[in-house]
């Protein structure tokens, strides 16, 4: 949530920061701003509200501002508003009263009220409604207190900040200085070949320049000055030198480019047949049925806990929660254990471990970004209650979630996801969940590799089977046109496909802003059926599985009231195809994997509904990609 970026080196900094900002827009697009150090002691700041998330006007405004080529130190920000409305005044960067210190910030100061009162009491004039501005004033005061000692001032500033924050700071007195702080919100930096430095809230903007970077750990601070970087951590107000490990960046510059697609959402849906094999690569032995998951096997302690565990919790938010529901069901079906999914935001409000032995409970945390605040809080809450093991199912390497696990987990390896709507991440989460299910059944001696062969092969077939779904994009667009005659629609499914329907519903609401009712199909007649009028569109996930007979009844009940039923049906199920008013076909596969194929058809439906409703499908209204606030 919020994207921050900075550059200091020998090149004109503003174009580099602008380019990086355009890649960070998915993290927040309420407003954008840059600050360039145009001469010692002088910062030039340009900021603007982004109408409908559009970046081009802002870019033109920055270009018109004619930052000199000699401006080689700049910071930038894309905002997802937390404190204060979407106004230019609230857009970052924010300055102290002297205009010498500029700050961009991702996160939330939990003690902003107290801090604001204190700063006002000390004579600071706060002009915006943001918590970020307070950081600039605070640092300025600390500089005065320490007689200009930057290191002491930064330590003292950081000690006064509560909450999860990632901060980048410029001080105009030193044209070669950038300060980065990670205290709860992500921050990474890279040294480029020419000795320049880039700092950003994710490594993606570095990709055109380098493949290596360093992800700051919680509490790490970097001071870049004079072409050198000082890495340290703070403990009780003391500065401890650290060495942040350097890592290889995942993905490539192509991953963060549209490559001919009109939208990232479409690109990320359509390229799944090429990306998902990376999720499976090296993990499945098709001949023997063996599943190998290095991230869960490496630690013998983690492995022991997984084998002995009695309770499994799958936690996530939004799309990741829907994937968690599917994986929990797979665990119940294949491992016959107590397994439940829970929205991370609810975990801290509910004693979910009640009646469980905490030490024999395992938590799997699912996340694309690995930065979702509710999820990180839930992990800390469960850990404090003695949960035996925390493992991650995550896409972004080096994210905060990874550092909170017990060194156990499985990366999605599906490449950067730029569209705010999660698409390929959902598919890969379910695929990884299916692999973990078989792997653990093998580890616990519940399934021999030999017995696993059919399911393992079914997993491996998913990327190719998706092509059949994607080929129906035009037919799905026509269905979207039909749905446009109504102001809302309904989405239904049973068993595994209730989670599929939930996921389809989330995509439609998020991307097209259309009202969509979602229910387990059997619940429809207990209330939502009242919505059905003549021709009313109902999407029914109706694949060939144990719920088929009940689904056939539900379809009759709906059609008897005039509903137009769009069935997501199994290819070859001619009876079902004839009964529904319009069919979308998915290839035959076990129901737990059919969730991926069916959800992908719903991703396409949401995409087309978004376009027909003239929505910005990559940057849905009011949302951002990584939700790093409560
Ligand atoms: O990065 P995460 O997977 O933790 O994000 C969780 C949700 O914020 C995310 O899935 C959100 O619901 C998507 N925008 C849905 O498309």
Atom of ligand 1 nearest to the CA of 317: 6
Read off the pLDDT band of 500 (50, 70, 90). very high
Domain boundaries, the chain: 3-249, 264-469, 473-612
Q: Encode pLDDT of 1-26 as tens digits.
A: 799 999 999 999 999 999 999 989 88
Read off the pLDDT band of 387 (50, 70, 90). very high
| Gap between the Cα atoms of 165 and 427, Å rounded | 31
User: How remote is the C-alpha of 310 from its chain's centroid?
Assistant: 30
| Gap between the Cα atoms of 225 and 136, Å rounded | 19
**Residue 33 has what pLDDT?**
98
Read off the pTM: 0.90
Closest to 430 (Cα-Cα) out of 323, 296, 271, 272:
323
Ligand 1 centre to CA of 117 (Å) is 35
Provide CB contacts within 8 A for 387, sequence distance 6+: 313, 353, 358, 359, 361, 362, 363
71 is catalytic: no
Q: Encode pLDDT of 432-445 as tens digits.
A: 999 999 999 999 99
Q: Encode pLDDT of 172-219 as tens digits.
A: 999 999 999 999 888 999 999 999 999 999 998 999 999 999 999 989
**Residue 252 has what pLDDT?**
79
Query: Cα–Cα distances in Å, from 349 out to 108, 344, 345, 378, 397?
Result: 21, 10, 8, 10, 29
| 473-612: CATH class | alpha beta
Q: Hey, what are 207's tokens?
A: 């990709």
The answer to whether the CB of 607 falls within 8 A of the CB of 505 is: no
pLDDT at 629 over 80: no
pLDDT at 131 over 80: yes
Read off the pLDDT band of 238 (50, 70, 90). confident
- Provide the 10 A C-beta neighbour count for residue 101: 25
The answer to whether the CB of 497 falls within 8 A of the CB of 471 is: no
Which residue reads 């700051």 in tokens? 216
Question: CB under 6 Å to ligand 1: residues?
Answer: 317-320, 367-369, 372, 375, 420-422, 506, 510, 626-627
Q: Encode pLDDT of 583-613 as tens digits.
A: 999 999 999 999 999 999 999 999 999 999 9
Name which residue sits closest to atom 16 of ligand 1, judged by CA. Answer: 421
Name which residue sits closest to atom 8 of ligand 1, judged by CA. Answer: 318
Q: Hey, what are 79's tokens?
A: 């905002």
DSSP output for 309-334 = -SEEEEEESHHHHHHHHHHHHHHHHH
Read off the pLDDT band of 484 (50, 70, 90). very high
For CA atoms 364, 366, 369, 375, give the dihedral sign: negative
**Residue 110 has what pLDDT?**
92
Query: Cα–Cα distances in Å, from 526 out to 491, 523, 562?
Result: 15, 5, 17
- Provide mean pLDDT across the span 103-121: 94
Which residue reads 């995550």 in tokens? 394
| Gap between the Cα atoms of 258 and 523, Å rounded | 41
pLDDT at 237 over 90: no
Name which residue sits closest to atom 7 of ligand 1, judged by CA. Answer: 318
Which residue reads 């007195």 in tokens? 173
Query: Cα–Cα distances in Å, from 87 out to 12, 56, 128, 481?
Result: 28, 18, 9, 36
Name which residue sits closest to atom 12 of ligand 1, judged by CA. Answer: 318
Q: Encode pLDDT of 521-562 as tens digits.
A: 999 999 999 999 999 999 999 999 999 999 999 999 999 999
| Gap between the Cα atoms of 496 and 512, Å rounded | 25
625 is catalytic: yes
Query: Cα–Cα distances in Å, from 471 out to 269, 270, 280, 460, 593?
Result: 12, 9, 23, 19, 19
**Residue to probe by mutation, ligand 1, list 265, 323, 371, 372, most atoms within 8 Å of CB:** 372
Strands 537-542 and 488-493: parallel
Query: Cα–Cα distances in Å, from 379 out to 3, 244, 297, 330?
Result: 24, 24, 21, 22
Report the topology of domain 3-249. 3.60.20
**Residue 392 has what pLDDT?**
98
| Gap between the Cα atoms of 167 and 7, Å rounded | 14
Helices (H), 412-448: 424-443
Q: Output the CATH code of domain 264-469.
A: 3.40.50.10490
**Residue to probe by mutation, ligand 1, list 422, 429, 430, 605, most atoms within 8 Å of CB:** 422
**Residue to probe by mutation, ligand 1, list 186, 368, 630, most atoms within 8 Å of CB:** 368
Ligand 1 centre to CA of 627 (Å) is 8
DSSP output for 96-160 = -TTS-EEEEEEE--TTHHHHHHHHHHTT----SS-SHHHHHHHHHHHHHHTTT-HHHHHHHHHHT
| Partners of 331 in the β-ladder | none
**Residue 26 has what pLDDT?**
86
Query: Cα–Cα distances in Å, from 35 out to 40, 50, 103, 168, 192?
Result: 13, 17, 9, 11, 21
Q: Hey, what are 232's tokens?
A: 């340290």
- Provide mean pLDDT across the span 218-247: 92
Q: What is the dihedral of CA 245, 248, 250, 255, to 10 degrees?
A: 130
| 3-class secondary structure per residue, 148-166 | CCHHHHHHHHHHCCCCCEE
Q: Find the catalytic residue in 147, 525, 625, 630.
A: 625
**Residue 150 has what pLDDT?**
96
Average pLDDT of the chain is 95
| Gap between the Cα atoms of 344 and 353, Å rounded | 14
- Provide mean pLDDT across the span 83-88: 89
**Residue 254 has what pLDDT?**
83
Q: Encode pLDDT of 251-297 as tens digits.
A: 777 888 899 999 999 999 999 999 999 999 999 999 999 999 999 99
Atom of ligand 1 nearest to the CA of 396: 1
Atom of ligand 1 nearest to the CA of 318: 12
What's the burial of 337, exposed, middle or buried (CB within 10 Å: 0-12/13-18/19+)? middle
Same fold, 264-469 and 473-612: yes
Q: What percent of the chain has pLDDT over 90?
A: 89
Ligand 1 centre to CA of 201 (Å) is 17
Ligand 1 centre to CA of 223 (Å) is 32
């Amino acid at each position: 949530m919020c994207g921050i970026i900075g550059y200091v080196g020998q090149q004109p900094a503003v174009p580099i920061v602008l380019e990086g900002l355009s890649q960070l827009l998915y993290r927040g697009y309420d407003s954008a701003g840059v600050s360039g150090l145009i001469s010692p002691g002088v910062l030039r700041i340009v900021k603007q509200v982004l109408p409908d998330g559009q970046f081009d006007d802002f870019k033109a405004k920055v270009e018109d501002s004619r930052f000199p080529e000699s401006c080689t130190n700049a910071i930038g920000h894309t905002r997802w508003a937390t404190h204060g409305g979407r106004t230019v005044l609230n857009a970052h960067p924010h300055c102290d009263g002297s205009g010498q210190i500029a700050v961009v910030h991702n996160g939330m100061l939990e003690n902003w009220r107290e801090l604001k009162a204190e700063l006002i009491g000390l004579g600071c004039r706060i002009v915006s409604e943001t918590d970020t501005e307070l950081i600039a004033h605070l640092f300025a005061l600390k500089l005065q207190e320490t007689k200009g000692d930057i290191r002491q001032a930064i330590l003292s500033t950081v000690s006064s900040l509560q909450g999860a924050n990632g901060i980048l700071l410029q001080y105009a007195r030193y044209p070669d200085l950038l300060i980065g702080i990670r205290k709860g919100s992500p921050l990474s930096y890279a040294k480029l070949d020419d000795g320049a430095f880039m700092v950003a809230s994710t490594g993606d903007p570095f990709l055109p320049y380098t493949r290596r970077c360093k992800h700051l750990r919680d509490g790490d601070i970097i001071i870049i000055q004079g072409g050198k970087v000082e890495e340290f951590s703070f403990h009780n107000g003391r500065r401890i030198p650290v060495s942040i490990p350097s890592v290889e960046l995942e993905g490539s510059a192509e991953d963060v480019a549209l490559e001919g697609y009109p939208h990232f959402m479409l690109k990320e849906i359509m390229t799944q047949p090429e990306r998902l094999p990376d999720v499976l690569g090296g993990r499945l032995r098709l001949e023997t049925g063996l599943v190998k998951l290095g991230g869960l096997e490496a630690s013998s302690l983690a492995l022991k806990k997984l084998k002995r565990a009695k309770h499994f919790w799958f936690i996530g938010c939004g799309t990741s929660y829907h994937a968690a529901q599917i994986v929990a069901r797979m665990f119940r079906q294949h491992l016959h254990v107590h397994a439940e999914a829970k929205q991370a935001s609810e975990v801290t409000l509910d004693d979910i471990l009640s009646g469980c032995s905490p030490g024999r409970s395992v938590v799997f945390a699912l996340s694309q970004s690995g930065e979702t605040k509710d999820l990180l809080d839930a992990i800390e809450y469960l850990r404090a209650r003695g949960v035996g093991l925390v493992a991650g199912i995550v896409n972004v390497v080096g994210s905060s979630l990874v550092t909170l696990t017990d060194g156990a987990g499985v990366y999605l390896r599906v490449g950067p996801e730029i569209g705010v709507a999660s698409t390929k991440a959902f598919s890969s989460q379910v695929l990884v969940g299916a692999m973990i299910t078989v792997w653990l059944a093998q580890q616990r001696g519940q399934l021999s590799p030999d017995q696993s062969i059919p399911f393992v092969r079914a997993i491996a077939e998913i990327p190719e089977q998706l092509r059949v779904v994607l080929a129906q994009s035009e037919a799905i667009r026509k269905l979207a046109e039909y749905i446009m005659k109504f102001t809302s629609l309904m989405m239904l499914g049973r068993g595994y496909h209730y989670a599929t329907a939930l996921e389809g519903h989330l995509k439609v609401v998020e991307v097209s802003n259309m009202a969509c009712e979602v229910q387990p199909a059997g619940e429809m007649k207990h209330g939502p059926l009242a919505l059905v009028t003549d021709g009313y569109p109902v999407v029914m996930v109706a694949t060939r599985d144990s719920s088929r007979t009940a689904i056939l009844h539900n379809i009759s009940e709906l059609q008897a009231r005039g509903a137009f039923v769009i069935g997501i049906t199994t290819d070859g199920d001619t009876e079902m195809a004839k009964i529904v008013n319009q069919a979308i076909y998915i290839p035959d596969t076990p129901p737990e994997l059919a969730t991926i194929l069916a959800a992908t058809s719903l991703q396409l439906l949401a995409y087309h509904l978004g376009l027909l409703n003239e929505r910005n499908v990559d940057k849905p209204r009011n949302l951002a990609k990584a939700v790093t606030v409560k």
